[in-house]
Amino acid sequence: MAARYVHWHQSVERRREVARAERPHAVVVTCSDSRVSLELLFDQGLGDLYVVRVPAHSIGDRELAAIEHAVAELRAPLIVVLGHEGCHAIHAAAQGTASTKRLGAIAASLAPPVPRARRTYGRDLAENVARAHEEYTMEQIAQSEPVLSELMRMRKVQVVGGYYKLNSGEVSWMQSSAPASDRH
């Protein structure tokens, strides 16, 4: 029986097209959580998204190198930092607890935005940490020298943050980050 595709950009022709050249229209930096399925969430297909997945979208040099590649070489004009509700690593960071030593190491890497989250009111602490961590990740990207910060100054790439709610399937968007040179 021949495969039938319901969603766009999932055909044999599309697979052959992206095999020749990769031109994603967005980079998405998100958690490795299995409940966050980006292509389904944003109704995208093969070659549409350049995805960087790491627990709690906690980025370092490797992830920044992947993002640089996607925007500088593949010319993706948009970087989306997508957090989500119910993230185990975020919860461990917020509560100061972790079920395993390795999860504790991930939670410890999330320490920088925790003080900012504790000053935020109106939501629970874990959600505050998640949103503060999104802002922190967006800042890391915007300040990454020389490639990402320069592309942002030249307005060739934009960074936005989103927060995915598992129960409702909604994404709430954060204001775009300004190029590093426009910050006060």
For the chain, domain boundaries: 25-182
Q: What is the pLDDT of residue 7?
A: 62
Q: What is the pLDDT of residue 183?
A: 36
Q: What is the pLDDT of residue 50?
A: 96
Q: What is the pLDDT of residue 30?
A: 96
- Whether the Cβ atoms of residue 27 and residue 71 lie closer than 8 Å to each other: yes
Q: What is the pLDDT of residue 178?
A: 47
**Which residues is 173 bridged to in the sheet?**
162
Q: What is the pLDDT of residue 124?
A: 81
The CATH superfamily of 25-182 is Carbonic anhydrase (3.40.1050.10)
- Whether the Cβ atoms of residue 162 and residue 172 lie closer than 8 Å to each other: yes
Q: What is the pLDDT of residue 6?
A: 58
Give residue for tokens 């990454």.
144
| Stated pTM of the model | 0.84
The rounded distance, in Å, linking the Cα atoms of 43 and 12 is: 18
Average pLDDT across each block of 10 residues of the chain; the chain has 184 residues. List them in order.
58 74 93 92 88 93 97 97 91 78 78 82 78 92 95 95 94 67 37
- Whether the Cβ atoms of residue 152 and residue 159 lie closer than 8 Å to each other: yes
